[in-house]
Structure 1
Amino acid sequence: MHILRFLKEYIKHPRNTGAIAASTSQLAKGMVSGIDFEQAKCIVEIGPGLGSFTREIMKRKRPQTLLLLIEINKSFYSVLQKQYENDESVHVINGSAEDIVEFLLALNVNEIDYCVSGLPFASLPKDVSERILHNVLKLLKPDGRFITFQYSLYKLSFINKYFPQISIEKVWLNLPPAYVLSCGNELVIQ
């Protein structure tokens, strides 16, 4: 069911969907492995799709940790909204990740611990990607992390302009294999 829905949305909106299939559980585990769930007060997921990463976050997060899901695709948003409608710690928003600052201000939140991204930066327009990364950077705590994945390292230098410290892990058990980028805004002095 999810596979067909994902494929259908990819065909309708390839630039925003970015993949023909949902991420594997191995990629999802890789995406959340660097999150300190005991300390996190606010986690934002941009481009959650059908919730592969969201499910891994929900297994690990504390009940009082706020989770904000920002999904532009109305079909995916509807699935997520229904799935988490009874959980007060989860807010699902149908909108663009470009507006992350406004969404958080509406919830009286002015900083975040982690931003997990399923966005296809390789296919998004450059100006949209710039606004998203700028706004995420503005909201991240000094020791916060922006965690994203890419199918190639084509956009690494672009992301590196915003986040000077990036660690990379390759996840082979995904179709196609993917790179998990864990990005910090602290400068590393050697």
Structure 2
Amino acid sequence: MKSISFIFQYLLNPRKIGAVLPSSNYLAAKMVESIDFRNAKYIVELGPGTGVFTDKIMKSRIQNTVVMLIESNNEFCTFLKEKYKNEKNLIIINGYAEEIDKYTKDFNIPYLDYVVSGLPFASLPKSVSNAILLKTKKLLRKNGIFITFQYTLVKKGFINHFFKHINITREYRNMPPAYVFCCSN
């Protein structure tokens, strides 16, 4: 999907898209570097957009790892379904991240090893962010990891209410530079 189309989607839904341009490959690499792909059975990506993080996940996962993408934007969802139409063990849902528990139940996913999020928590309503983080925390297995990025540290304290441990790194080669939060309990 071209950057013009991404920009158009941002202009239509700035609170949901959260960025004018897709994330860089540098940020994508940093987002997945803490995933143990050899042992991951279930990975969910929230707000995959055009699939920059998804590409890294799909290239690194082992064949039987189940990956679920939850994307609320119809255009992005259609794009992802076409882009990954030949992938096995990939579930693409045109829905809302706050219903992560419903989708995992619908597809008999008992727990999650990793949740990777491209959601703009700084611009989402607090009630939506609460629901997403609470349900994500409950679905993660022991030692499971929630990975997200933000452009500021303003939501660190909020996310810390759900996850005791947050390791933060910075990716300067993204536009704009981003913080990666690697969260666990």
State the secondary structure of the residue aligned to 2:93.
strand
Counterpart residue identity of residue 158, structure 1: F
Partners of 2:55 and 2:86 lie apart in 1 by: 15
Count of paired positions: 185
Please name the residue that 2:14 is paired with.
14
Counterpart residue identity of residue 31, structure 1: M
Q: Does 1:84 align with 2:84?
A: yes
Partners of 1:84 and 1:106 lie apart in 2 by: 21
Partners of 1:62 and 1:138 lie apart in 2 by: 25
Please name the residue that 2:94 is paired with.
94
Moved over 6 A (4+): none
Deviations 1:90-123 (A, max 9, x none): 1000000000011011111120000000000000
Deviations 1:30-84 (A, max 9, x none): 0000000000000000000000000011110001000000000000000001112
Partners of 1:2 and 1:128 lie apart in 2 by: 29
Counterpart residue identity of residue 68, structure 2: L
After TM superposition, list the pairs within 5 Å mapping 1:1-190 onto structure 2: 1-185=1-185
Partners of 1:148 and 1:51 lie apart in 2 by: 15
State the secondary structure of the residue aligned to 2:26.
helix
The offset of 1:86, in angstroms, is 2.2
Q: TM-score, normalised by structure 2?
A: 0.99
The alignment yields a C-alpha RMSD, in angstroms, of 0.7
Partners of 2:105 and 2:129 lie apart in 1 by: 21
- Percent identical residues: 48
The offset of 1:5, in angstroms, is 1.0
Partners of 1:144 and 1:127 lie apart in 2 by: 23
Partners of 1:86 and 1:34 lie apart in 2 by: 26
Please name the residue that 1:188 is paired with.
none
Counterpart residue identity of residue 129, structure 2: S
State the secondary structure of the residue aligned to 1:38.
coil
Partners of 1:57 and 1:77 lie apart in 2 by: 17
Give ranges in structure 1 of 5+ residues lacking alignment.
186-190
The offset of 1:85, in angstroms, is 2.1
Partners of 2:181 and 2:64 lie apart in 1 by: 27
Counterpart residue identity of residue 118, structure 1: G
State the secondary structure of the residue aligned to 1:114.
strand
Partners of 2:40 and 2:160 lie apart in 1 by: 24
State the secondary structure of the residue aligned to 1:134.
helix
Partners of 1:2 and 1:130 lie apart in 2 by: 32
Partners of 1:155 and 1:37 lie apart in 2 by: 28
